[in-house]
Amino acid sequence: MVGKIPLAGVIGSPISHSKSPQLHRHWLKTYGIPGDYIPMDVATHDLKQVLQALPKAGFVGVNITIPHKEAVLEIADLVTDRATLIGAANTLIFRKDGKIHADNTDGYGFIENLKSGAPNWNPTSGPAAVLGAGGAARAVIASLLDAGVPEILLTNRTRVRAEKLADDFGKRLTIVDWVQAGNILEESALVVNTTSLGMIGKAAMRVPLDGLRRGSVVTDLVYTPLKTDLLAAAEAAGCVTVDGLGMLLHQAVPAFERWFGQRPEVDSLTRAAALR
């Protein structure tokens, strides 16, 4: 008897904007793996029922995106420590014993993207300035602390959200008021924008950027456009810049490997496939 063709996909609402299908389909084709990766727009009230039905249709796992990344923690049977710490999951594995295993690979993708785009970056070289305190910031902060960054200067438009992260992650986080955000750039070896500011269709990045210092590393999780105003200003100031597309590519690597049994490579063809 021939086994089922392995299927994976991404669940969110909306989902039509996702670049994950072209990325995973590129890898499936590159490695000659029979299978497919399907975008699925699923409403919150249908999420549990859909997740329980998918393995019966041959699905080996799915990615989870907005607005379901927190809700799936309540549905999963097993949750990794890092997904628990971050408070969200972006990857589900449907195990052969019927259990749903939830993980978060966003932090892994962020660090791998930094290593790739700024190979000389040393986590211990100085503080990291993190703009934003949403779900993406939690993944970034967890990965930076794990990598050995000595201090994180966290700033957010709503201070109370930043204070919640400081409560969760401890003494290496220092909260800075949003109106002072421009002042922390000068002392930071790494600057990370985790907000949607500067994204196509969103508000512009209004933080003063003249404090960016030559040689520091600046990365933006926004990848539409690939070169945001933040990255353009950082480039002009002599900083090392890392765009946000690589995080999307690298966070997909461990999921693809778990689902399809092949560790994919992130290269120029992968980037091209995601940008199609």
Name the strand (E) or helix (H) holding 271: helix 268-275
- Looking at the DSSP bridge assignments, the partners of residue 220 are 193
Alpha-carbon span 138 to 133, nearest angstrom: 7
Rg (CA), the chain: 19
- Residue of 4, 19, 48, 69 marked active site: 69
Our answer to whether residue 202 is catalytic in this structure is: no
CA angle 202, 203, 207 (to 5 degrees): 135
Alpha-carbon span 19 to 1, nearest angstrom: 34
For residue 63, give the DSSP letter. Answer: E
Alpha-carbon span 56 to 100, nearest angstrom: 13
**Between helices 245-260 and 20-30, what is the axis angle to 10°?**
50
**Where in the sequence numbering do the catalytic residues fall?**
69
